[in-house]
Amino acid sequence: MLHPNAPLGQAQVSAWATGLSQLDASVEGSEVTQETEERATVEVTVSAQGQTQPVTLDMRTANGEWRVYSVAGF
């Protein structure tokens, strides 16, 4: 789910997710590279159309749950 204070709008995230589904993309792996009580950085390896690409998720807590704050690299 998207963090309520995220700079991305819900429409942008929906468009990104739709694009991924049309590319037949899959997640090859993920790793939490930094974590505090309120923030975490997750490195995700995404494979699409024969190519592998790293994607960085900036996660932040909201109401006690981890939420996506921003996405970089895709």
Q: Give the residue numbers spanning the domain of 32.
A: 10-72
Quick one: pLDDT at residue 41?
A: 97
- Asked if the structure places residue 1 within a domain, the reply is no
Per residue of the chain (74 residues), what is the pLDDT tens digit? 788 888 877 777 677 677 666 777 788 999 999 999 999 999 999 888 888 989 899 999 999 999 999 888 76
CA 7 to CA 74: how far, in whole Å?
16
Q: Is residue 3 part of a domain?
A: no
pLDDT at position 40: 98
pTM of the model: 0.77
Q: Decide if 4 is inside a domain.
A: no
Structural domains in the chain (count): 1
What is the domain-level CATH number for residue 47? Answer: 3.10.450
Please state whether 15 falls in left (phi above 0), alpha (psi between -120 and 50) or beta. Answer: alpha
